[in-house]
């Protein structure tokens, strides 16, 4: 019956404009592997878009609309100031229904659900459905405090009042890098970490469990060159306290590569200070694509 036809499929998502020149933010998973990206603005105008940069680890993509038109952008707010119980508004394209507005409150912060590497989600009960991904989560001042990214629903059929958004502060850092360099530049230490349990803290005379336990140090890594050892407990990194194991990867990733940093480490029942120069995660061989 002739040549087999390649099936074309279309995916729907949401996004928002952050610059009058037509720079659009969305989720990486919305545009991943797309041949063509069409952005509909205000429900009636359609523009082709090209990818300026994408980051699968935080699930953020930055697009440029291919037009000389000027747009009215939205602005980011300070997501660290968002509190549980604050009202929020989501705008997006659920099930292809463009310009849908839903509201709710912030249900929780700092959620990890095992979806991406650097998660610190804001949880909301505003209805977020398929197609809302990549859209903005606003506070009542009209500032974007999050990028809507995931729903947890039985069979993924609809919203059950548990939606997640990437906080604006974390997203902004990645967006700035993608616009400037077309890629991310994260700091890299080169360690395997574990949670500090009560038993570990007790054996190490640390008192309350805190910090990140170093379970292993990669050969030739910045950590090894800086004198870190298995068994160390990192309490402070570049002036920032490491309260739990989960803090360390985020703080390191947010620090520029090649920066000289000081770490406060618990070793042999006392605090010592180590100084080292960070590497770049994206060029570390452990993270190179196979």
59, 120, 125, 232: the active-site residue: 59
Q: Rg of the chain's alpha carbons, rounded to an integer?
A: 21
* DSSP state for residue 7 in the 8-state scheme: P
Candidates 269, 201, 192; CA nearest to 228 is: 192
> How many Cα atoms are found within 13 Å in the side-chain-facing hemisphere of 128?
31
- The question of whether 133 is a catalytic residue gets the answer yes
Helix count (H) and strand count (E) of the chain? Answer: 5, 19
Kindly list the distances between the CA atom of residue 23 and the CA atoms of 19, 61, 70, in Å, as whole numbers in the listed order.
Answer: 5, 10, 10
Enclosing H/E stretch for 91: strand 87-92
From the list 14, 79, 107, 133, the catalytic residue is: 133
Among 14, 29, 79, 232, the one annotated catalytic: 29
The answer to whether 29 is a known catalytic residue is yes
* Run of H or E residues at 260: strand 260-267
Catalytic-residue membership of 9? no
Phi and psi at residue 115, in whole multiples of 5°?
A: -95, -45
Active site residues: 29, 59, 133
């Amino acid at each position: 019956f002739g040549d087999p036809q390649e099936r074309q499929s279309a995916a729907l998502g949401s996004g928002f404009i952050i610059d009058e020149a037509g720079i659009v933010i969305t989720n990486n998973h919305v545009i991943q592997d797309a041949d063509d990206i069409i952005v509909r603005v205000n429900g009636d105008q359609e523009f082709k878009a090209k990818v300026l940069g994408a980051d699968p680890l935080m699930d953020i993509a930055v697009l440029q609309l291919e037009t000389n038109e000027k747009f009215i952008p939205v602005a980011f707010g300070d997501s660290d100031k968002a509190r549980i119980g604050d009202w929020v508004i989501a705008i997006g394209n659920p099930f292809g229904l463009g310009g849908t507005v839903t509201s709710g409150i912030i249900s929780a912060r700092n959620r990890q659900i095992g979806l991406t590497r650097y998660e610190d989600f804001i949880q909301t009960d505003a209805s977020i459905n398929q197609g809302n991904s990549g859209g903005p989560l606003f506070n009542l001042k009209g500032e974007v405090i999050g990028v809507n990214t995931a729903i947890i629903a039985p069979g993924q059929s609809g919203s059950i009042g548990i939606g997640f958004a990437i906080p604006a502060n974390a997203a902004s850092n990645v967006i700035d890098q993608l616009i400037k360099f077309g890629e991310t530049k994260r700091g890299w230490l080169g360690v395997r970490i574990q949670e500090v349990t009560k038993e570990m803290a007790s054996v190490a005379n640390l008192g309350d469990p805190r910090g990140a336990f170093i379970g292993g140090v990669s050969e030739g890594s910045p950590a090894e060159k800086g004198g870190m050892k298995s068994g160390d407990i990192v309490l402070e990194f570049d002036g920032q306290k490491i309260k739990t194991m989960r803090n360390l990867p985020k703080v390191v990733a947010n620090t520029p590569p090649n920066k000289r940093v000081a770490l406060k480490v618990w070793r042999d029942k006392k605090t010592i200070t180590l100084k080292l120069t960070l590497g770049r995660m994206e060029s570390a061989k452990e993270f190179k694509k196979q």
